[in-house]
């Protein structure tokens, strides 16, 4: 593990950035979050697909490794709701194919172009889910393609120094892809899975999939990146 100095000096800005994000959105509703506490959304999308099999344990890790105060649980949020704009960070996962509504596409577009950050992860390395997600992103951002994130990208080195992606079955070619807008990564996608299902609880598992094993450290980095860039 390597906790970098620049993150610690920048970390006080995270609460300012988060507050500004929430205050500038015209789509906020009246529900208030805990003061100074970073809240993360767990998306409900398509026809009531949920993102429940994604472990929130990385939220505790981030608070332990930095002075960012986090809620240790996700808040379920509908993708097409105004409530989404209260959250600087959201996760979206699932298995099988899906189709978003136009309202959901429009809301996700506005969210990502106005300061929001999304982690999209194929549950159990679901190929149909990955295919559906790629199709939807191509519809939402037809002129902006996702790019492969190389290991020297700062997204891998904010809190933990991640040198490689370790997968359950140690296959070659594991990667993260990102969507970049105005020089900032606003979305990260994994077809292998960043779900950390071993810590997700309930009936969650990665049955037959090839999930990324160091997902917890990567997710800590992603949240830290979203708050400091």
Task: State residue 35's pLDDT score.
Answer: 63
Q: Which residues contact 79 (CB under 8 A, 6 or more apart)?
A: 43, 44, 45, 92, 100, 104, 107, 108
pTM: 0.84
Torsion-angle region of 35 (φ positive above 0: left; ψ -120 to 50: alpha; else: beta): beta
Strands laid side by side in the 184-190 sheet:
75-78, 40-44, 89-94, 117-122, 184-190, 177-181, 147-148
What are the two backbone dihedrals, phi and then psi, of residue 21, each rounded to the nearest 5 degrees?
-60, -45
Residue bearing tokens 């917890």: 216
Angstrom distance (rounded) from CA 56 to CA 70: 11
Q: Tokens for 149, please give them.
A: 């994130």
Task: State residue 204's pLDDT score.
Answer: 79
Task: State residue 21's pLDDT score.
Answer: 44
Name the stretches of the chain with pLDDT < 50: 1, 5-32
Task: State residue 225's pLDDT score.
Answer: 97
Domain boundaries, the chain: 5-25+33-228
Distances (CA, A) of 40 to 85, 105, 126: 11, 19, 23
Please name the CATH architecture into which domain 5-25+33-228 falls: 3-Layer(aba) Sandwich (3.40)
Got the DSSP string for 66-95? SS--B-SS-EEEETTSGGGGG-SEEEEEES
Task: State residue 11's pLDDT score.
Answer: 44
Residue 189's DSSP bridge partners are: 120, 177
């Amino acid at each position: 593990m390597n906790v970098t100095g620049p993150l610690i000096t920048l970390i006080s800005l995270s609460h300012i950035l988060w507050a500004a994000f929430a205050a500038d959105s015209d789509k906020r509703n009246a529900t208030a979050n805990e003061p100074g506490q970073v809240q993360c959304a767990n998306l409900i999308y398509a026809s009531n697909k949920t993102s429940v099999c994604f472990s929130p344990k990385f939220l505790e890790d981030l608070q332990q490794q930095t002075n960012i105060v986090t809620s240790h649980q996700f808040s379920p949020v509908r993708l097409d709701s105004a409530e989404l704009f209260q959250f600087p960070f959201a996760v979206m996962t699932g298995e099988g194919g899906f189709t978003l509504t136009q309202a959901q596409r429009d809301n996700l577009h506005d969210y990502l172009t106005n300061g929001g950050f999304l982690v999209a992860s194929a549950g159990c390395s679901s190929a149909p889910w990955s295919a559906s997600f790629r199709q939807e992103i191509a519809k939402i951002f037809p002129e902006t393609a996702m790019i492969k994130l190389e290991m020297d990208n700062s997204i891998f080195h904010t809190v933990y120094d991640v040198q490689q992606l370790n997968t359950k079955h140690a296959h070659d070619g594991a990667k993260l892809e990102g969507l970049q807008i105005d020089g900032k990564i606003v979305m990260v996608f994994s077809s292998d899975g960043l779900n950390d299902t071993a810590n997700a609880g309930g009936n969650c598992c990665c049955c037959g999939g090839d999930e990324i094993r160091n997902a917890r450290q990567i997710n800590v980095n992603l949240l830290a990146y979203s708050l400091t860039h």
